[in-house]
Amino acid sequence: MDEDSRTIRGRDAQRMIVDTAWNMAEAVRATLGPRGMDMMLVDRMGNQVLTNDGATILKALETRDPIAKIISEVAKSQEQTAYDGTTTCIILIGELLRRADELINRGVHPNAIIKGYRIGLEQALGAAKKYALPMEPFDAAYKVAHTAMTGKSAEDFVENLADLCAKAASIAEPSEIKLLTFSGKPQDAELIEGVVVLKAPAAPGMPEKLKGKIMLLEPEFSPPVANVSIADPAKIAEIAQMQNDFLQNRVDTITELGVQIVFCQRGMDSRVTQYMRKAGMLAFKNIRRSDMQRIAAATGAEVITDISDFNSEDLGKGEVSTHKDANAYVCITGKSSEAATILMPAPTEQAAEEFQRALEDAVGVSYLCVKEPFVVNGAGSIQARMSSHIKSLSAEENPKVEAARLAYAEALMIIPQTLAESAGMDVMDVTVRMTTEPNLGVDVNNMMLTEMEVYEPLAVVNSAMSSAVENGVSLLRTHSIVMAKPIQEIFGERASD
């Protein structure tokens, strides 16, 4: 092999994969559940984040280990598809690979383990479907949002925030739901149907509310500028007058088309804003490109790239209202408005970041339940039921495949075991009792097992289970790892020679 790379084969490669996966699982395991611990993350620039969000933790773990990077990508994929369940997914991968390593030590071939795991997964998903509870979309969305925020910074305000998330998910897709955080009291959080932009009008004295045609402008609304040196005051006055005439002409053209509101992605000349104020128009400048696109989608307007070339077909229609609370903002609604904004006041910047992460997860799982209103019991109950269901089915003919299937069933119990451990309960007692009574859940607040009214979306559970098995299987069938040296090491060695 190339001297600039090293190869790890066979059992050494498998053990390296198992050890890395287990270490990654351990890194987030303590954060699982309502009583999960927080982790402080400090980056190279000294910025710090205190969080118990598994996806955030894995993103922040800077490593060159290829296996760790693969597992981090799994967490990222789980978050993008199901919005939640990242910690559960990573813990399961670690446990499945650990049990696979034990089976390999006992002489079971990886292919037999893979087959057993896939059979176990199919049976587990069947159990999840069997125990899934149909609900009204809004009720399901509210309950899963409540569960998603429990144990996070937003927990103290969970009743109001879960209601806001469920309503927002009923209005728009997560990509069209904007979360705005600013300084204030969390109990004052509110949902606004429409697009919200944290901007004040371009000039004081403009109307607070208008309804009519909307224009979206990308370039700066200012007169043409040429770099010339002129000393003659008359020439300077002439140029200034030409600029004024140019701007007045453009504003007149806009008003003739009946435009009432203008959003400009870049700056606006002060003379333009004054012309518009006198004409009773409402204008906003320095709007983000992403906000311009959301306004365009809501109002049906086109973003105009040339102020000299536009017509009435490029305009949209909608209603715009300005508000002056802790932060000035503008709300835009239109005929095709399928957008919502949650305004989330927070006491500190750190709290704002945590609220943002909690609400993103809650909005995502709420949306899943609005689309498919099926939920399963949480608090480790669904994993215990899956495990019990797999064990109750007839055994496979091949004893090695059967051993892997049962190992998968046992691996599922790592979730209730972790919840019990984080609550300070006896893990062995919890495991034994939930094996015989899988309908129970881990009540971490009262440190007992009981039937819990805690719910998770069926889609999140199915995604976490499937992702854990498929990615665990991919790592399990890895025979060799060829690792090239980092380019810095190669140059360093060559420079020293």
Q: What is the set of active-site residues?
A: 53, 86-87, 361
**Residue 452 and residue 379 in contact, taking contact as beta carbons nearer than 8 Å:** yes
Percentages (nearest 5) of helix, strand, coil residues in the chain: 55, 20, 30
What lies within 8 Å, CB to CB, of 281 at 6+ separation is: 206, 207, 210, 255, 259, 260, 261, 262
Instruction: Name the pairing type of β-strands 5-9 and 480-484.
Output: antiparallel
Convert 261-276 into a string of H (helix), E (strand) and C (coil): EEEECCCECHHHHHHH
Q: What residue spans of 393-457 are helical by DSSP H?
A: 399-412, 414-422, 427-436
**14 burial class (0-12, 13-18, 19+ CB within 10 angstroms)?**
buried
CA distance 342 to 364: 13
CA distance 123 to 101: 22
The residue whose two tokens read 């007058």 is 241
CA distance 156 to 354: 13
DSSP 8-state code for residue 37: P
Grouping H, G, I as helix, E, B as strand and the rest as coil, residue 252 is helix
CA distance 97 to 106: 14
CA distance 59 to 75: 9
CA distance 402 to 115: 9
CA angle in degrees (0–180, nearest 5) for 9-12-14: 90
